[in-house]
Chains A and B, each alone.
Chain A
Amino acid sequence: MFTDSQIRYLARESLRSFKRLRGISVVSTLIMGVALLMLALFTLVTVNLRAVAHTFQKEIEIVAFLEDGRTVEEIQDLRQRLLEYHGVESVSYVSKGDALSEFRAQLGSDSDLLDVLDENPLPASLRVRLSDETRTSERLDLLSAWLHEMPGVEEVRYGDQWVRRLERYVHVFLLLDLLVGAIVFASALFVISNTVRLTVMARERSIEIMRLVGATDWFIRTPFLIEGAIQGGVAAGLAMTVLWGVHHYATRFVGPLIFYDTVQIAGFVALCAIVSGLGSLTSLRRFLRI
């Protein structure tokens, strides 16, 4: 497409324009970096909060207390039927003895109190967990109602108030998150496209002259493409570096947090480079009248 000397010229030009327009390049790269930092920070906070919500939700289980004196076969049969129930992930059996020792562990140093009892008052139980997709309050209601009708089940508990509240919070959080996310994304895009346009406008005259002396469109575009890509990549790299620092600092206070893995970071940088490069091309369209 280009001759060797044209390629040399374009390479020189792409780097020289950084020097020539150093102020604009640095400022616009920084602005872009801040916009991208906001976007990456927001995404990271979302990912972490979702992870926290998820661990809470995972804790939710239905406990079916069994009547005393049920045979092993009856319990096995109930367990089997539960496992075949849609969405049930695991069912664990807690015997009377297990329940007592659990209770003992919870009481700690006060566990001596239990010695007063001459028989174990705690019932055996089945603890049921649902898979992530099916763990909604409706399904929990349905399952607990169904369990209640089962022979040998004395009582069913799953902390429905708590589940409902958690579900509501997560729901509201996700909605807010989506809203804020849309705003952050739109502003980042707006800031970046304006920054790119500013860079292009700073060179409007040179574009005009290039056209008048017979430069092909691609000859005009290429330095912008390269510059835009470098700017986007550098800005994304800066954003990630700062974010990593923030993450590192925050971990000291709130414990382990999720951070992007290497592939995600590389992907983010590459994506920003591509978007910024293409953005430069789009801003050029006005000047090239395509």
Chain B
Amino acid sequence: MSTQPSTQERHPIVSLYHVSKRYGRRTALHDITLHVEHGGFVFVVGPSGAGKSTLLRLVYMEEFPSEGQVTVSGFVSTRMRRNRIPHLRRKVGLIFQDFKLLEDRNVFENVAFPLYVIGANRGYIRRTVLDLLGRVGLYQKRNAHPRELSGGEQQRVAIARALVNSPYVLLADEPTGNLDPVVAREILKLLFRINVAGTAVIMATHDHELVRRYRQRIVHVEQGEIVQDEEAFDLWSREASAPADPSEWREEPLVVEPREAAE
């Protein structure tokens, strides 16, 4: 397998065509057009309230555009029936700033939750979850409860949960917002590993400093509009001090083999 993202498929897994979103008279997003390829990685960067979260919510179809159209791997927002949304969600991994873990369940149960929901059998759940916990380094903590974990560990639980259904795309809404810089970088590394294994990643963050040192594409959003779209290739024009060699994470892609999960 090649380690170069540029050799991955180039047709989009997520597309927004001239998308606008208004809440009453307030415009959250205005005429956004954005394509993310299969296996692509995009940082969506902008200040709080710029519309980053709204953009992600449109992708996992918690919201629908006022104008334009969102397409996620064959799911089209303008033709989306309500009862199809769960099927989309099973192919879109989600992580959030506040982790959104079930406090009354242990790590294993939290990660297994999406598999219970789709009715996977016990053996499959056990294998997949333990395997995944091993890969994110939480195998030893599988019986711990979220409150017993650090923020970084909780986010890794959330990431494992997001990956358990082998999603096409992982959406991360300020995943490092509650974490200190060192832990934040670890989480980023984990996201890169996931990406290298072939899962597209869209990560929204207000922390430009955190992401500018990496090679990935950066989409800048301000006041509901895309003001700049720095392709990954532009990275040489970024500061020379950027650690341009992310080989440490490339050695160990975090693969989740898509399997037939349901009985």
Contacts and interface: CB of A to CB of B under 8 A. Distances in A.
| Residue of A208, A215, A217 contacting most chain B CB atoms (<10 Å) | A215
A183 interface: no
Given A213-B90, A214-B165, A205 B119 contact: no
| Residue of A206, A209, A217, A219 contacting most chain B CB atoms (<10 Å) | A209
B25 interface: no
A5 B121 contact: yes
Interface string B105-121: 00000000110111111
Interface string A132-163: 00000000000000000000000000000000
B86 A214 contact: yes
B100 A214 contact: no
B124 to A, nearest CB: 9
A212 B94 contact: yes
Nearest to A216: B86
Contact of B114 (A2, A3, A213): A213
A20 B102 CA distance: 12
Nearest to A209: B100
Nearest to A17: B104
Contacts of B104: 20
B4 interface: no
A6 interface: yes
A9 B89 contact: no
Contacts of A20: 104
A186 interface: no
Contact of B263 (A5, A211, A214, A215): A5
A114 interface: no
B122 interface: yes
A210 B116 CA distance: 10
Contacts of B117: 6, 210, 213-215, 219
A219 B117 CA distance: 7
B183 to A, nearest CB: 22
A6 B60 CA distance: 24
B103 to A, nearest CB: 8
B86 A5 contact: no
B89 A214 contact: yes
A206 to B, nearest CB: 6
A14 B31 CA distance: 45
Given A209-B113, A213-B161, A214-B114, A9 B119 contact: yes
A213 B89 contact: yes
Contacts of B87: 214
B129 to A, nearest CB: 13
Contacts of A4: 119, 263
A215 B114 CA distance: 8
Chain B interface residue count: which class? Answer: 20 to 34
Given A5-B121, A209-B102, A214 B116 contact: no
Contacts of A209: 100-102, 113
Nearest to B93: A213
A187 to B, nearest CB: 32
Nearest to A12: B116
Interface string A251-272: 0000000000000000000000
Interface in A210-248: 210-217, 219
B263 A3 contact: yes
Given A205-B100, A206-B102, A208-B100, A213 B113 contact: yes
Nearest to B125: A5
B100 A3 contact: no
Contacts of B90: 213-214
A210 B161 CA distance: 12
A219 B89 CA distance: 14
A213 B118 CA distance: 9
B241 interface: no
A5 B120 contact: yes
B83 A216 contact: yes
Contacts of B101: 209
A214 B161 CA distance: 12
Contacts of B114: 213-214
Interface in B248-263: 262-263
Interface of A: 2-6, 9, 20, 205-206, 208-217, 219
Interface of B: 60, 83, 86-90, 94, 100-104, 113-114, 116-122, 161, 165, 262-263
Given A206-B102, A212-B89, A219-B117, 20 more contacts: A2-B119, A5-B121, A6-B116, A6-B119, A9-B119, A208-B100, A209-B100, A209-B113, A210-B113, A211-B89, A212-B60, A212-B94, A212-B100, A213-B89, A213-B94, A213-B114, A214-B90, A214-B117, A214-B118, A215-B117
For the complex of A and B, list the 6 residue pairs with the smallest distance between their C-beta atoms, beginning with the closest.
A214-B89, A6-B119, A214-B90, A213-B114, A3-B119, A215-B117
15 contacts: A3-B262, A3-B263, A5-B120, A6-B116, A9-B119, A205-B100, A205-B103, A209-B101, A211-B86, A212-B60, A212-B89, A212-B94, A213-B90, A214-B117, A216-B83
